[in-house]
Structure 1
Amino acid sequence: MDRASYLKKLRGKLRRLPAQELEAALAYYEEYFDEAGENNEQQVISELGSPSHVASQILADFALKDLENTSEKSTKKNMTALWLIILAILSAPLSLPLLATAIALILSFGAVIISLIFAIGAGILSIFIGGIAALISGLFILTEHWPTALLFMGIGLIITGLSVLLFPFVARFIKKTVLLSVETLGRLFHKITKTRKGGL
């Protein structure tokens, strides 16, 4: 493999990056080859490792840097970062058992996070529905026994209000959980690839 084919393969592996980041990464490696000189191309390729390995590091680094530098931690941004980390893991030249372990970790980690989010959402929704049900029950028995009706309506209003008050805190908690999950996956990926590189 020569310099041109190495950089071409690297460009193909990095096509998911924003154009500016892609060009900056390629410019860096072109300069690296330039500094080494034409006679040392094979030595540079040997030092850098395969284009897949370099691309996986760049994708993971970009995902983490993008998360750390942005002031607005949106769900879309988190999912983009997660997607880049998954691409980095899939493009990394890991052994089959290590790749299977990394994918299994991502899937199980994702399943736990999604389950947690659904459980919290279902809890808040059930509190809200329970409050509405108590309020409606109070209205139905208002003509039969008004003290009990007032009790039901009061409990219904309190529970409904509590669920409405909890919603912003739950939404913030879910966003932070997703962000932390993405950062943890990125660090885990770096640890796996560094361990693998050290073992070669």
Structure 2
Amino acid sequence: MSDAASGATTGSEGVTTRTTTYLLVDGENIDATLGGSILGARPSPEERPRWERVLEFARTIWGGDEVKGLFFLNASNGTMPMSFVQALVAIGFQPIPLAGESYEKVVDIGIQRTLDALADRGGDVLLASHDGDFAPQLAALLGPGRNVGMLAFKEFTSSALQQLTEGGLEVFDLESDVRAFNVRLPRLRIIPLAEFDPTRYL
């Protein structure tokens, strides 16, 4: 039996154990969506997400005891952005630099395998991506006793992922829900009336 509000799971003997939230980040996808679809150019440092805020959101959203942040990187060219990797480590992420053949989507494959592995263990799951390629793996995780969510720019989330919300997938907006940015992004999207702030347009 799961208490979604506290993130705790009660076993058959009534012993409560705390839940780990696994945060998986598809760095390539987030960067490509931010630069290509929202900014129209490569993001500057101040326009990129504050990843420590993303970690903190994962810690608080379901009240779990621990967050395991896994940040997937494509290192197929034999190099890593070391300053960025070191910054990730400093704030609590585990970078996962993957390499493969030129025809392989190494980050996608790595995340898919990780989601498959999580199906056999407890814990809540948050995935930062917009990619519909992960829909089968996320669908397999949905069910009683586990929270499953996406972190994304909602207007660019694939339809395959949006359809999973009917089965319990939660979608959190990186800007308005997570508050991962120091700047306001030039987004054109449908605004729920409850979120409308007229001062943004004055």
State if a TM-score over 0.5 links the two structures.
no
Higher helix share: 1
Normalised TM-score (structure 2) = 0.21
Higher strand share: 2
Normalised TM-score (structure 1) = 0.21
